[in-house]
Amino acid sequence: MKIFWITDSETFYPLKGKAYLGKEGKQPEKNLGQKVVMELSAPYNYTNRNITTDNFFTSLQLAVALRANGLTLVGTLRKNKPFIPNEFLPSRQRHVHSAVFGFQKDITLVSHVPKQGKAVILLSTMHHDKAVDLEQMGKPEINLYYNKTKGGVDSLDQLVHAYMSKRQTVRWPLSYFFNLLDVAGVASFVIWTLQNPLWKENKKHKRRLFLEEMSEQLVIPQIQRRVGAGRVHKSVLLSAELCGVTAPASAPVPAQQEEEETAKKKRCVLCGKKKDRKSKQTCNECKRPVCNEHSQAKRICMECQSNKN
């Protein structure tokens, strides 16, 4: 499964996701990158925000479409794009750390040479000059801005894999649900730390501590409800003890239920080894294990019982 995400570049907060559904219909998929970016960025149209993309999504058509929606684009380009001039392509004749700029209306193209025979080509509708940073060996400002804002989705993926709730399963809806839980855990941690910047300021592994406290607060009401209802299993009692939940005095554990939980299943004495039918219930007279087929359970109301007596 593949899920496309649009995230905040500073906090890595997941803003919106889209699951890749594969080829829809009989027609091959075209301009998938542009369609994904346009759909994910639709809630932010006409806000003058910038969208940073890698070379899978960046194209001239996408830059024009986003510009019409009040958004700018900064992204790397693949070398096989037909609109890239030959002077921008990698060449061993170009000097290291040199840069070539191209301008067309509101679109800027730059090709920077980080190593001999290599070239990084970027497109931007946000920058409109030849600004370079001399302290960074002449790197263009477009390149520096891209490096600063490109890691949102990768950082989100790294955070998700640090603490995962995923389990091995062959059911894709369950695997998809596990991923949503992990992403929601990252999003809630971002919101919590922004609202409470001094929370556990000197503690390490703050996100792990946050997930532990959040999970306890989510399960404690459920444990209290089950303990208060009187239908208590050993696992519930253990969870209540670990979370510090005490059972109310008005809801003691029934003695019969406690005996049934502690009793072990034994083979019915009347079924024999061939059927190997096991049961927890025993005969009231001889105390030997018997199954439902070889035993009787009588039910009588209190009025009939008093008349009988």
Residue 177 lies inside a defined structural domain of this protein: no
Q: Residue 12 in 3-state DSSP?
A: coil
Residue 285's domain comprises 264-300
What pLDDT is attached to residue 264?
A: 76
pTM here?
A: 0.73
- The answer on 148 and 111 residing in a single domain is yes
What's the pLDDT at 232? 64
Phi-psi region of 160 (alpha: psi -120 to 50; beta: other; left: phi over 0): alpha
- Measured from the Cβ of residue 19, the count of other Cβ atoms closer than 10 Å reads 11
User: Do 12 and 144 fall within a single domain?
Assistant: yes
Distance CA(38)–CA(32), nearest Å, equals 10
* pLDDT, tens only, 36-70: 999 999 999 999 999 999 999 999 999 999 999 99
Q: Is 17 in the same domain as 57?
A: yes
Answer yes or no: do 254 and 291 share one domain. Answer: no
Same domain, 150 and 29: yes
Q: Are 280 and 237 found together in one domain?
A: no
Span 217-241, pLDDT tens digits:
888 888 887 777 665 666 767 777 7
- Per the structure, the count of domains in the chain is 3
Q: Tell me if 95 sits within 8 A of 66, measured CB to CB.
A: no
Helical residues (DSSP H) of the chain, grouped into ranges:
32-40, 60-68, 141-149, 152-162, 172-195, 206-229, 234-243, 255-262, 272-275, 302-308
Task: Assess if residue 185 is contained within a domain.
Answer: no
> Do both 214 and 285 map to the same domain?
no
Give the residue among 73, 142, 149, 151 at the shortest CA–CA distance from 111.
142
Provide the 8-state DSSP code for 289. Answer: B
243: pLDDT confidence band, cut at 50, 70 and 90? confident
Give the pLDDT of residue 186.
96
The answer on 137 and 250 residing in a single domain is no
Per-residue confidence at 121, pLDDT binned at 50, 70, 90?
A: very high
pLDDT over 50 at 248, yes or no: yes
Q: For 163-184, what is the mean pLDDT?
A: 92
**pLDDT confidence tier of residue 253, bands split at 50, 70 and 90:** very low
Q: Say how many CA atoms lie within 13 Å of 204 toward its Cβ.
A: 0
Q: Does 139 share its domain with 246?
A: no
